[in-house]
Structure 1
């Protein structure tokens, strides 16, 4: 199993937000997809705290998929499906057999800064197709706003990410919004 100290640090806050937003729907069974599940720590914790949601973890990386499987086995999570290989930059029809209007929730945690703009476009386009009416897309991560990154430590992270891969970096909220309004 892979272990991310950052995931251990922030899962409770993220889970609290999800619980608050989904509280009025806890009387029915929901279906959620986590894009870029990474280690699997978030999806397992979310599943434990919100048993009314069936979770579909996914990732593009084989090592991450194996880690997610290990977390599922270690925790005996009943409401987490086997992880699926999913590349959000691909057309939504190729998203692990997910069907139009089949999801109540899509979660993408720290995915967009480690992805190309094509992936970000894919996340929003795919979510528009597979989310049910009134479904929820929750992204979490660091973002630029109108070209500005604050504080300076986030500028350093952006530079480091772009050095690792020129297509990565903190996405600009304004660019994401404008590109999906059309």
Structure 2
């Protein structure tokens, strides 16, 4: 079982944001999809604390006995939403992309927003998390360094600009709601 220290550090803050957003819906069964799940720690942590949300992922299922976590599906978010593992239109209440957008080309960000615009239910939530540029400016220095490192690893990677993501959201029928703790809520 893989363990990510970064996931350990961010999971409680993200859970707090999710609870605030979804607590009034805890009487319903919700369906969530995490894009770029990595170790799966976030989803399993969320599943243990929010049993009314069913998620897709494999890591940690056996070890934690999480009952609201399903087997993962292969999904290339840069592809058209119809190829997203057969997920039908308006089938998800929540889509999360944690530390995905900065480690992928812009076509992935475009795909995430286009696909989310189709797969999310009305009033569904797309939550992205990670460091971002704001109006082309990256702060603090550690995020500037991260952006440089990512671009050296792959010129198509780097910190996306919030305004560009806001425009992508709008062109796909979503709007940015707010930005708590490096998370963008659409």
Scaled by the length of structure 2, what TM-score is found?
A: 0.89
Describe how 1:37-52 pairs up with structure 2 within 5 A. 37-52=37-52
Q: Provide the C-alpha distance between the structure 2 equivalents of 1:133 and 1:156, rounded to a whole number of angstroms.
A: 38
Describe how 1:75-114 pairs up with structure 2 within 5 A. 75-114=64-103
Query: Shift of the alpha carbon at 1:56?
Result: 1.6
Residue number in structure 2 paired with 1:142: 131
8 Å Cα contact 2:78-2:111 kept in structure 1: yes
Task: Indicate the structure with greater helix content.
Answer: 1
Partner SS for 1:12: helix
Partner SS for 2:95: strand
Q: Provide the C-alpha distance between the structure 1 equivalents of 2:168 and 2:129, rounded to a whole number of angstroms.
A: 18
Residue number in structure 1 paired with 2:115: 126
**One of 170, 177, 182 as aligned partner of 1:181:** 170
Query: Shift of the alpha carbon at 1:133?
Result: 0.4
Q: Which runs of 5+ in 1 are unaligned?
A: 58-68
Q: Which runs of 5+ in 2 are unaligned?
A: 172-186
* Divergent runs of 4+, >4 A: none
Query: Shift of the alpha carbon at 1:147?
Result: 0.5
Query: Shift of the alpha carbon at 1:72?
Result: 0.6
How far does the alpha carbon of each residue in 1:125-175 deviate from its partner, in whole angstroms, 9 at most, with x for none? 000000000001111110001100001111000000011111110001112
Taking only aligned residues, the RMSD between alpha carbons, in angstroms, comes to 1.0
How far does the alpha carbon of each residue in 1:1-46 deviate from its partner, in whole angstroms, 9 at most, with x for none? 2111000111001001101100000001000000110001001000
Q: Provide the C-alpha distance between the structure 2 equivalents of 1:101 and 1:119, rounded to a whole number of angstroms.
A: 20
Q: Provide the C-alpha distance between the structure 1 equivalents of 2:2 and 2:139, rounded to a whole number of angstroms.
A: 30
8 Å Cα contact 2:101-2:159 kept in structure 1: yes
